[in-house]
Amino acid sequence: MMEIDENKAVRIKKLDALRAKGIDVYAQRFIRSHSIADILKDFKEGVKIVTAGRIMANRDQGKVHFMDLMDQTGRMQLFVKGDNIGEDAYDMLKCLDLGDIIGVEGETFTTKTGQNSIRVSKYQVLAKSLQTMPEKWHGLKDVDIRYRQRYVDLIANPEVRDTFIKRSHIVSYVRSFLDAKGFLEVETPMLQPMAGGARGKPFKSKHNALDMDVYLRIAPELYLKRLLVGGLEKVYEINRNFRNEGISTRHNPEFTMLEVYQSYGNFEDMMQITEELISSLVHKLYGSYKIKYQGQDIDFTTPWERRSFAQVVKEHFDINPEDTAQVMLDKVKAKRSGHVKIDKLTRSAIMKIVEDVLDEKATANPVFMLDYFTFLSPLAKAKLDNPAVAQRFEFFIAGMEVGNAYSELNDPQEQHKRLVADLDDDVETGNRVIDEDFVRALEYGMPPAGGLGIGIDRLVMLLTDSASIRDVILFPLMKPEA
């Protein structure tokens, strides 16, 4: 049998005492007239209210009892006196603890010390807390506990609650922005017969009824482009993706992406959408285009800086897109001090090292990195005047890649050729399968289009000044407790 700690045992005794009085300790519906924010906004004395929340402070001063009540919107003081609620109800206050959820009726007033308060005329226990909050409610600091027990983190740290409220507002703004531009929100499968649309190691499972292997999606791209073939011209999806890879401050195995596709457009249209969406979002949240992230000043004023990836790589490493993997490796070793380690000698593996070096040199302000090599972009159109370079950009903020876009390749023969070539260059996933149905869809004709992907978690990190992706995911994946 699980051992009950002393504090929990005391709370259970109080629970039993309440029940012995015939009190429904885990009550039914409770209708509030006001949230705490409603009460405190334009505060007036003498207003009758019904509200509810969690007890965050509990001070017994003999004939008067003071509590702090907290709901999602704020925190305020309760003034409880036996003359107002009755002696039996007042006596039962000793059965209440920090963390208990109660409902109260009363009237607003201001104390002699100027504290806006509620004079309670009636209270009701709505849920008895059997666990004691850590660190005496002064804020939960242990990162491991915060992530494992997010419910405690949200109670103890109001700034954490504010982060996730802001995340919700960010996602809502993204939806309203795209809806206003005529984009249609769609849903594509998370359970797929093959993993495609990006490089990434998938999570594999088995569908028993169909006796087939299935994969959690690593990207929705190929399904969304099928919709362009079908005549849906402007679509987007805010999607959950899964990659069976490492965990870091910027990576979680389960993450949220925005993907946007527009028929008859190209990567330049996606650049315009990106600038307008993010800069207007920043201004909506903060009333300014300038914010701070981890001590860095970031200016989202448009237009954002444009740089050529091909030119930067040429300047730093003398690498050309036509170079062989060995030539690229020799050039990187000549420029990069220390040992350069790769698992498999491919051009993509070398370019991953190059991109990591360039990330270290990135500026804080948003920057579009254009002209990625075509062999790194198997789903993107190549430039007409330089087939070795793709019509693609990635954009970076505070040195962090936040999004990726390109003019979508809609030539089915060229697409098939690229997918075959990409199999041998794929060092990350070991994927040996081509989505032939996607190629077949292209053979029906897909209009020219632009496609855009934005990492929602990373965007929220930037706009909430959060150092880790786990700080903006409610329930990040954790190793089992020892």
- Tell me the per-residue pLDDT of 262-293, one tens digit each, with 9 for 90 and over: 999 999 999 999 999 999 999 999 999 999 99
For residue 137, which of 234, 70, 227 has the smallest C-alpha distance? 70
The predicted-structure confidence for 64-109, as pLDDT tens digits, reads as follows: 999 999 999 999 999 999 999 999 999 999 999 999 999 999 999 9
Provide the 3-class DSSP secondary structure of residue 360. Answer: helix
Query: Model-level pTM?
Result: 0.92
Using DSSP bridges, classify how beta strands 101-110 and 116-127 pair: parallel, antiparallel or unpaired.
Answer: antiparallel
What is the distance in angstroms between the CA of the first residue and the CA of the last residue of the chain? 18
For residue 453, which of 296, 286, 281, 270 has the smallest C-alpha distance? 270
Q: How far is CA 61 from CA 70, 82, 101, 373, in A?
A: 21, 12, 21, 73
For residue 278, which of 302, 261, 294 has the smallest C-alpha distance? 302
CA angle 435, 204, 455 (to 5 degrees): 75
Provide the 3-class DSSP secondary structure of residue 84. Answer: helix
Residues 325, 288 contacting (CB under 8 angstroms): no
Q: How far is CA 180 from CA 185, 238, 303, in A?
A: 12, 16, 22
| 416 half-sphere exposure, CB direction, 13 A CA radius | 10
Residues 77, 36 contacting (CB under 8 angstroms): no
Task: Say how far apart CA 69 and CA 57 lie, in whole Å.
Answer: 7
- Neighbouring residues of 264: CB distance < 8 A, sequence distance ≥ 6: 233, 447, 448, 449
Backbone angles phi, psi at 480, to 5 degrees: -60, 145
- Neighbouring residues of 134: CB distance < 8 A, sequence distance ≥ 6: 140, 142, 145, 152, 156
- Give the DSSP H/E element, type plus range, for residue 411: none
Query: Which two structure tokens, joined as six digits, stand for 189?
Result: 């499968």
Backbone angles phi, psi at 442, to 5 degrees: -60, -30
Residues of the chain with pLDDT > 70, as a percent, come to 94
The domains found in the chain, sorted by start residue, are 6-132 (2.40.50.140), 156-472 (3.30.930.10)
Task: Say how far apart CA 286 and CA 57 lie, in whole Å.
Answer: 32
Task: Say how far apart CA 307 and CA 473 lie, in whole Å.
Answer: 31
CA angle 173, 402, 458 (to 5 degrees): 65
Task: Say how far apart CA 41 and CA 39 lie, in whole Å.
Answer: 6
For residue 454, which of 388, 403, 382, 392 has the smallest C-alpha distance? 403
Q: Peptide bond preceding 448: is omega within 30 degrees of 0, i.e. cis?
A: no
Q: Write out the chain's pLDDT in tens, 482 residues.
A: 455 689 999 999 999 999 999 999 998 999 999 999 999 999 999 999 999 999 999 999 888 999 999 999 999 999 999 999 999 999 999 999 999 999 999 999 999 999 999 999 999 999 999 998 776 445 566 788 889 999 999 998 899 999 999 999 999 999 999 999 999 999 999 999 988 888 888 899 999 999 999 999 999 999 999 999 999 999 999 999 999 988 888 899 999 999 999 999 999 999 999 999 999 999 999 999 999 999 999 999 999 999 999 998 898 889 899 888 888 888 888 877 666 777 677 788 788 888 777 776 678 999 999 999 998 899 999 999 999 999 999 999 999 999 999 999 999 999 999 999 888 766 556 566 899 999 999 999 999 999 999 999 999 999 999 999 999 999 999 888 87
114: number of Cβ within 10 Å: 6
* Residue found under tokens 């855009």: 452
- Give the DSSP H/E element, type plus range, for residue 114: none
Task: Say how far apart CA 257 and CA 240 lie, in whole Å.
Answer: 6
Task: Say how far apart CA 172 and CA 465 lie, in whole Å.
Answer: 19
Residues 113, 105 contacting (CB under 8 angstroms): no
Residues 120, 37 contacting (CB under 8 angstroms): no
